[in-house]
Amino acid sequence: MPNTSNNMKIGLTIVMAAIIISTGTLAAINFLPGLMPTPIQGEVNIQVIKGSTVENLTLSDLAPLTTGESSGTSTAQNRFENWRDNGVYIGVSLATLIELVGGMGANDVIKVNASDGYTQYYSYPNVYPNASYAPLQGNLILAYSYNYTTPGPHIEAWADGPRIVFLPPDNAYSVDDANQTTHPAWFFGSAGARWVRNVAAIEVLQDAYIDSRFHVSVIDGEDEQDVYLMDLAMMNNLGAYTAYQNRFDNWRGNGTYTGVLLSALIELVTTIDSNDIVNVSANDGYTQSFAYDNLYPNTSMHSIQGDLILAYIFNGTMAPSWTNGPQIAFLAPDGGFSNDDASQTLHPTWFTGSAGAFWVSNVFTIRVIRDGLPP
């Protein structure tokens, strides 16, 4: 039997050499018929998901979807500004794959999961790059071949594929490129971190995008992290109907609040002890404090106050359209955080007769105060 793998490699090398000689660079590959690397059938399965619609694809399903614009040379910069994984990538544009399940809207988000659980998110202009994104990131593809090898147990298999890859016009996806084309909730200083290895699933999250202008800062001494509303949407959310009582015993704020545990936000940066407190400030300077027992209530405390959350959705309306959010809220089990509840669960130094005073609106900072619990 002839060695078709070696023949394909030789053929591709000739084509690539011709392109490099004629253009001086390799931004996109124009393949001649029969010179595409043929993936081993059935070795890798990838799911493309939108709601109840699921497409299961093997590597052999991807080859016919490949174009010159979805293949080329590229490399990515890591957080130490070193360049990694330079080579020739052959794949399918993420836009083409998403269109198999109905496409995406401008407010949708693409979630890509690796087989080991690693996750990255991509916005509409990542998948369909506009005039400002295209010169920086180029096309976003799912690559199934790297330097003419494909994933699988065969000799010279590509261990990292299939893989998410950016193909910028200058063939180099830098940290600066990533910073300018990534929602800040998803960027942590590395362009290479955006290149997901061993992709297992690509999912459309509908109406999940939230503008990056809105965030809360979580602070512990010199450590600080900006938490965007997009971060809240991607974390474990809790929701329940509740309300609060003001100092005149009137009920206010009745409705369904959805958000993230205040303790979970603190844990993004640090951990706290029983003598530490958490100070929450609004954008107008208003502040309130909460004890360890409020964030981590025991059974008896939880039966009174419920979960303490930072809510960013009220009755289905998301901040900033919900003008009070993000807002502190107690998800009291009986549907209302009363003045009596507050007097039993909040430190007496802080409680002055109003449960509602602790529902801080328009939260701006969440700060850990070490050993700050009053006697």
Yes or no: say if 265 and 310 are a contact pair by the CB < 8 Å rule.
Answer: yes
Yes or no: say if 152 and 160 are a contact pair by the CB < 8 Å rule.
Answer: no
Pairing of strands 215-220, 363-369: parallel
Residue 135: the pLDDT is 97
Q: What CA–CA distance (Å, rounded) separates 285 from 5?
A: 67
Beta strand spans in 159-276 (E): 163-167, 199-205, 215-220, 223-228, 238-245, 251-261
Residue 97: the pLDDT is 98
Q: What CA–CA distance (Å, rounded) separates 121 from 328?
A: 27
Q: What is the phi/psi pair of residue 20, to 5°?
A: -65, -40
Yes or no: say if 236 and 264 are a contact pair by the CB < 8 Å rule.
Answer: yes
Of 79, 120, 366, 324, nearest to 226 (Cα)? 366
Q: What is the phi/psi pair of residue 277, to 5°?
A: -130, 165
Yes or no: say if 194 and 239 are a contact pair by the CB < 8 Å rule.
Answer: no
Which H or E run includes 120? strand 119-122
Q: What is the phi/psi pair of residue 289, to 5°?
A: -120, 150
Residue 155: the pLDDT is 55
Which residues is 281 bridged to in the sheet? 287, 365
Residue 35: the pLDDT is 44
SS3 6: helix
Give, in order, the Cα–Cα distances in Å from 169 to each of 5, 92, 140, 213, 246: 29, 17, 12, 29, 59
| pTM greater than 0.85 (yes/no) | no
Q: How many CB atoms lie within 10 A of CB 194?
A: 25
Domains in the chain and their CATH numbers? 4-205 (3.90.420), 215-369 (3.90.420.10)
pLDDT digits (tens, 9 = 90+) for 205-230: 988 887 777 789 999 999 999 999 88
| CB burial string 148-165: b at 16+ within 10 A, e below | bbbbbeeeeebebbbbbb
pLDDT along the chain (375 residues), means of 10: 40 37 39 44 80 93 92 96 96 97 94 96 96 97 93 76 97 97 92 97 90 86 92 93 97 97 97 97 96 97 98 93 95 97 96 96 96 94
Yes or no: say if 66 and 91 are a contact pair by the CB < 8 Å rule.
Answer: yes
Q: What CA–CA distance (Å, rounded) separates 366 from 261?
A: 12
Residue 367: the pLDDT is 97
Q: How many CA atoms lie within 13 A of 169 on its CB side?
A: 7
Residue 25: the pLDDT is 38
Q: What CA–CA distance (Å, rounded) separates 19 from 244?
A: 69
Q: What CA–CA distance (Å, rounded) separates 176 from 225?
A: 20
Residue 10: the pLDDT is 37
Residue 207: the pLDDT is 83
pLDDT digits (tens, 9 = 90+) for 134-153: 999 999 999 999 998 888 76
The first and second tokens of residue 1, run together, are: 């039997």
